[in-house]
Copies of this chain bind each other. A is one copy, B any other.
Amino acid sequence: MSPKEGSGLSRRAWLATTSGVIAAGLLKTQADAVSLVAQEAPVVGQDHTKVPGRFVSELGQRAPGERPRRLPRTQALSSSSRTPLQDLHGIITPADLHFERHHGGVPNIIAEEHELMVHGMVDRPTVFRMADLKRYPQSSRIHFVECSGNGGGVYNRDRMPTDVTPQALDGLLSTSEWSGVMLSTILREVGVRPGASWLLAEGGDSAVMSRSVPLDKAMDDAMLAYGQNGEAIRPEQGYPVRLLLPGWEGNANVKWLRRIEVTDQPTMTREETSRYTDPLKDGTARQFSFVMDAKSIITFPSYPYVLPEPGWWEIKGLAWTGRGRITRVDISTDRGVTWVPAELQVPILSKATVRFRHLWEWDGRETVILSRAVDETGYVQPTIQQLWEARGERTNYHQNHQRAWRIGADGVVTFGLGELL
């Protein structure tokens, strides 16, 4: 189109198009026409070439037949909601479907009032307003964020479910293009003092969610993120600014960030002592297990899909690793006996989800399908037996073992890990 098109032309086009369906004599003004042509609900069997469509709008909406939804857990201050992985394509998660996990509810912060204090072992303690943060050089990166408790529902051998969707199982995982200022820029601005080695990140929510972060990570790829998929970060993801620690467990990516204190040791907050540590089988506990190890999940076919017939089906899924890039995803369609590499969608980005796909001819017989991710460090997504062996059966976090789906002879798909134990 061209801005030089006059409204006269548009009106002519409109009249030409609508003359077949609406008596032109009924139309007194263009404003009248709006209410006549706007279609709010789809009509079964309609020939859309014969019916004028809706006019342009300030904000788009989903098609009425498309209703992807997060899956909220309990309505409580400490709760979560999960991304509908089985409904999504590609790697980007729409912002309104990004998973939630908060410990004190979502605060309703006014960006212009928000302050971030950076202090402790620094030369120039400083309070930053959002306008200050936005004036620093900006970066944008596509990264996943995953809660370290993701997938915990399929780790206990005595309670292995079959009726669990990718959303219910691993929906505490989402991927966005994040924009903001690198934390290293801000730390250089305030001047980190010799001897500093950690920082405390504190949220401005009613839980005052706080975590300790090694200074090395802060100076490497940590970001103060105020943008998400092009727009301002959403309230549930930390509006107006969150700490983004690419590849590290979600909990440490402190939202509604209001304070950073540079220290020479971890602060040992509640969220890293009473929680977010991993009990091991020798009775000790693994603490500061920040990195999310390589993981993958097949999102199609998965519960509750049903394959209507044997034949060619494309197995699709997501793989990701907090250690950098995914280099390979293997697929097994015979209960883990043999494996073949899936195709990986390029570009493969560091610390981002990767879409994998594998064309599979299903012979109609019952089987179990699995995926297994490998990352650039050579790390291979473990079996559940390997994870039990390494960490025991009592850990609540970092349960990145291989997921499996059972395909019944009737095409019914259910969670299949129990079949392999």
Stretch in A87-95, A385-393, A410-418 touching the partner: A87-95
Which residue in chain B gives the minimum CB-CB distance to A203? Answer: B49
Which residue in chain B gives the minimum CB-CB distance to A179? Answer: B89
Give chain B residues whose Cβ lies under 8 Å from the Cβ of A158: none
Give chain B residues whose Cβ lies under 8 Å from the Cβ of A59: 69-70, 96-97
Interface string of A356-382 (1 = CB under 8 A from B): 010100000000000000000000000
Instruction: Check if A327 is an interface residue, CB within 8 A of chain B.
Output: no
Give chain B residues whose Cβ lies under 8 Å from the Cβ of A42: 108-110
- State how many angstroms separate the Cβ of A304 from the closest Cβ of chain B: 16
A73 touches B56 (CB 8 A): yes
Secondary structure class of chain A's binding surface, majority of residues: loop
Whether A105 touches B149, Cβ cut-off 8 Å, given contacts A140-B90, A231-B62, A239-B63, is no
A63 touches B240 (CB 8 A): yes
Whether A205 touches B314, Cβ cut-off 8 Å, given contacts A75-B56, A76-B7, A90-B230, is no
A237 to B57 CA separation, bound complex (whole angstroms)? 13
Which residue in chain B gives the minimum CB-CB distance to A311? Answer: B135
Interface string of A53-84 (1 = CB under 8 A from B): 11111111111111011111111111111000
Residue A152 contacts which of B2, B17, B140, B179 (CB distance < 8 angstroms)? B2
Give chain B residues whose Cβ lies under 8 Å from the Cβ of A7: 74, 76
Which residue in chain B gives the minimum CB-CB distance to A60? Answer: B96
Instruction: Check if A43 is an interface residue, CB within 8 A of chain B.
Output: yes
Residue A77 contacts which of B18, B74, B179 (CB distance < 8 angstroms)? B18
Whether A149 touches B80, Cβ cut-off 8 Å, given contacts A49-B206, A60-B235, is no
Query: How big is the A interface, by class?
Result: 35 or more
A359 to B138 CA separation, bound complex (whole angstroms)? 10
Instruction: Check if A112 is an interface residue, CB within 8 A of chain B.
Output: yes
Whether A77 touches B108, Cβ cut-off 8 Å, given contacts A49-B204, A72-B57, is no
A413 to B297 CA separation, bound complex (whole angstroms)? 49
A204 to B76 CA separation, bound complex (whole angstroms)? 46
B77 touches A37 (CB 8 A): yes
Give chain B residues whose Cβ lies under 8 Å from the Cβ of A112: 65
A369 to B110 CA separation, bound complex (whole angstroms)? 33
A14 touches B78 (CB 8 A): yes
10 CB < 8 A contacts A-B: A4-B153, A54-B235, A55-B79, A60-B70, A62-B235, A89-B179, A89-B226, A90-B227, A138-B357, A140-B345
Give 13 A-B pairs besides A57-B70, A60-B235 with Cβ atoms closer than 8 angstroms.
A4-B153, A13-B77, A30-B75, A37-B105, A48-B205, A55-B72, A56-B72, A57-B72, A59-B70, A60-B70, A65-B112, A66-B239, A347-B349
